[in-house]
Structure 1
Amino acid sequence: MRYFLYLLLLLTQCIFAQQESEGKCFVDANYFYGNVVQHRKSIQHLITGHPEGVIISFNRKTFGEKQWESAYNYPDYGVSFHYEDMKSKALGEMYGLYGHYNFYFLKRNLVFRIGQGVAYNTNPYDKETNFRNYAYGSSIMPTTYFMLNYNKLDLWQGFGIQAGVSFIHHSNGSMKSPNTSTNTLAINAGLNYTFSRAKNHMYIPRHQDSIAYKEPVRYNIAFRGGVNENDVIGGEKYPYYALSFYADKRWSRKSAFQLGVDFFWPKYLEEYIKFKSVAFPEENVDPNTDYRKVGVFVGHELFINKLSLETQAGIYVYEPFKSTGSLYQRVGMKYYFSKKIFGGFGLKTHMAKAEVLEFTMGVRL
């Protein structure tokens, strides 16, 4: 519902903006056609055709009214609707709603888009009616897409064209098993239309800082939580907790380097250890094995206004029960409610296998 309200607000702004300035909003539509990437052998039977669909987006331009806008070469922000026919009876169809940013390069002819949202699948796993779908254990799931386009706006009467490549990821973050996920790599092409062309709207030039931007080392405490299942289909949901302590050094307005430690309490793993000890006695699993983990990580934070994009890579230094491999990754978004308080969400993975969708609250001191 929040995304629909945001879409309505954005459309209203676009309509009224037609009387204020040129090109303040534009809409684009892309048709795409591609392949499901076989990142695991277990999904090979699900790849029976070439997925195709459409991505329709509403975009609002920025002109440098805020400092971060010019620092990022005047990006756009907006909302996207996505429809995808997976061309597989078992996988069904996908419908998604996203918030996105567009970033421009090469004299604003090359645009990179990143979108994050929620998707609905029409045919998730069911042990009786759809036991072949090991990719989606639930109908509702987080989704991310990336798009790289060469585009031309307002070539004729407000209409323009674009073409490029897209990457679309669907995964429920192991909130419900099975969850092998899918990744679609596709080519796309489409049209765009720019509103309010009557008046000229100028970009405000960027002024370089006279003094290099610096911040002292900051110390962060973040509590993360989520819900997930183990790999046993039909099992219960268990709470997931993590506590992170890390330092960051911001060396520019855009970027900060991170170094820290994670403490994990994956309760699903505690039950999975007990299951393994009974179901597979030949593996000699001790049911009292500690399920907790400790990891150290390095990371990067990209600041965009009050939002930031966080990427981290870590290694477990304490892992009595080895179930996922020693390396882990985290990709997420943060929102700063104030200079010290932030919240966010992110996906913790082990390469192509998602472990949990984490929700975060933290402080930056």
Structure 2
Amino acid sequence: MKKYTLLFLLLFFGRWLSAQDTTDLWTKARMNPNLGSHKYIELKLHGGTHLYASDELKNALNDGYKSLELRMGWQSTGEKAWQRVFNYPSYGIGFYTGDIGNPTILGNPSGIYSFFYAPFHRRKKNYFEAGLSLGITYDLNPYDSTTNPLNDAIGSKLDVYFNVGITGVLKVSDSFDFLYGADLTHFSNGRTHTPNLGLNMVGLNLGVRYHYNTIRTIVKKQIDPTYTAPRRPTFINAPIPEQLHYNEISGYAAFGIVQASSDEHLEAFYGTASLILEYNRRISHKSSFGGGLDGFYDGSLGWTYHQLYGQVRPSDKMLMGIHAGYVLHLRDFEVRAQIGTYTWKRDGEKGDYFMRLALRYNIGKYGFVQLGLKTQDGVASDWIEWGGGAKTRF
């Protein structure tokens, strides 16, 4: 009998201790003002006009464009120093669908992308966000010399989707925000298929954002019916560590593929290459500035010069250049914007200057992969650079 009594007491005491531990853990957990995961669903309506420099599509683009976007975002709290540097940004994934003009010529495009919002000019009820989105758009109706000869803007069914804009955020309630803003959207395939003037759409947008916390319902039903998880985070206002200034040298190699002409008798594709040596100086948590040397190879110049001059030397497909650039640091990612000029080329076929917009992901201290778009004489796509490289700091 004593054995059974002792066993009962041990079991009861164990369950009591377990209950006490669970209660203590929940008591401590609910003291965290950012318990759970703060997310939002965003719906935006866009409208505006096309920035188009040619003549073929003017009638197809006369009515401008209209589009709808659905986004799901994660709101940061400032737990990490980089989040405080960017004033508590949010980021996520989105879906796009739109009417960009005559669907018989242009198609009915949709797209998927990732996005990043960096807030600025924060006030209690209203603030602004600088937004950047990058992804792909599909269901386009590309150029065809027989069935779609007017479409000199789009050469492929699948294009890069790029969007940049400024959004105003007006807090309406604890759950909802009203959104308003202006943005620029760009479609391009980077000359992997021609013609490829691309589409540039600029306009205004209106929308609504709904905030929620993923643990809100679970906690109420299964743990504590008296607890209501906050829909919005309490921003952590801890000091930002000082950023060390340093110098960085990197070497980058990339390749690409381009189509020389959309002529119905020529559907050949050519290889491209980029070799870059670059120096940058880190000056703050967000920014670096620098410059570098560029070496290019464009196989399609062989076809171009054969048409112009009748003969081609191996060196005709090569170019040399220099560039200056800016780097925006986003944790392990870098957004790189550069402008450069050629120091050596055969003639003016490539224009006088080039630009590069690239996204780099750093792998440890010494390596990286990078995806970029090199342009020709402004925003005209030259080719997409796929590559990687190595770096060192001092």
TM-score by length of 2: 0.81
Is the aligned partner of 1:257 residue 2:283?
no
Once the 2 structures are TM-superposed, how far is the Cα of residue 322 of structure 1 from its aligned partner? Answer: 2.1
1:212–1:308 Cα change, 3 Å: closer
Residue in 2 that maps onto 1:287: 312
Once the 2 structures are TM-superposed, how far is the Cα of residue 87 of structure 1 from its aligned partner? Answer: 2.1
Paired residues for 1:46-195 under 5 Å:
46-88=60-102, 89-107=104-122, 109-153=127-171, 155-156=172-173, 158-195=175-212
Is the aligned partner of 1:358 residue 2:372?
no
Query: Which one-letter code corresponds to 2:138 in the other structure?
Result: Y
Once the 2 structures are TM-superposed, how far is the Cα of residue 160 of structure 1 from its aligned partner? Answer: 2.2
Once the 2 structures are TM-superposed, how far is the Cα of residue 22 of structure 1 from its aligned partner? Answer: 7.1
Residue in 2 that maps onto 1:281: none
Residue in 2 that maps onto 1:225: 255
Is the aligned partner of 1:267 residue 2:294?
no
TM-score by length of 1: 0.87
Residue in 2 that maps onto 1:12: none
Aligned to 2:307, what secondary structure does the other structure show? helix
Q: Is the 8 A contact 1:169 1:181 kept in 2?
A: yes
1:192-234 Cα offsets, whole Å, 9 max, x none, are 100127334321114143x55211x221100011111124434
Once the 2 structures are TM-superposed, how far is the Cα of residue 143 of structure 1 from its aligned partner? Answer: 1.5
Is the aligned partner of 1:237 residue 2:269?
yes
1:80-103 Cα offsets, whole Å, 9 max, x none, are 111111122311221111111011
Distance 1:335 1:212 in 2: 20
Q: Is the 8 A contact 1:346 1:358 kept in 2?
A: yes
Distance 2:91 2:295 in 1: 35
Q: Is the 8 A contact 2:95 2:110 kept in 1?
A: yes
Once the 2 structures are TM-superposed, how far is the Cα of residue 76 of structure 1 from its aligned partner? Answer: 0.3
Q: Is the 8 A contact 2:243 2:285 kept in 1?
A: no
Q: Mind listing any 5+ residue stretches in structure 1 that lack a counterpart? A: 1-18, 279-285
Distance 1:347 1:121 in 2: 22
Distance 1:212 1:92 in 2: 48
Aligned to 1:275, what secondary structure does the other structure show? helix
Once the 2 structures are TM-superposed, how far is the Cα of residue 41 of structure 1 from its aligned partner? Answer: 4.3
1:170-212 Cα offsets, whole Å, 9 max, x none, are 0010000110101011111111100127334321114143x55
1:331–1:212 Cα change, 3 Å: closer
- Structure number with larger C-alpha Rg: 2
Distance 1:199 1:81 in 2: 28
Q: Which moved more, 1:338-347 or 1:84-93?
A: 84-93
Once the 2 structures are TM-superposed, how far is the Cα of residue 46 of structure 1 from its aligned partner? Answer: 3.7
Aligned to 2:272, what secondary structure does the other structure show? strand
Identical positions, percent: 22
Once the 2 structures are TM-superposed, how far is the Cα of residue 144 of structure 1 from its aligned partner? Answer: 0.3
Distance 1:224 1:256 in 2: 22
Aligned to 2:106, what secondary structure does the other structure show? coil
Residue in 2 that maps onto 1:314: 340
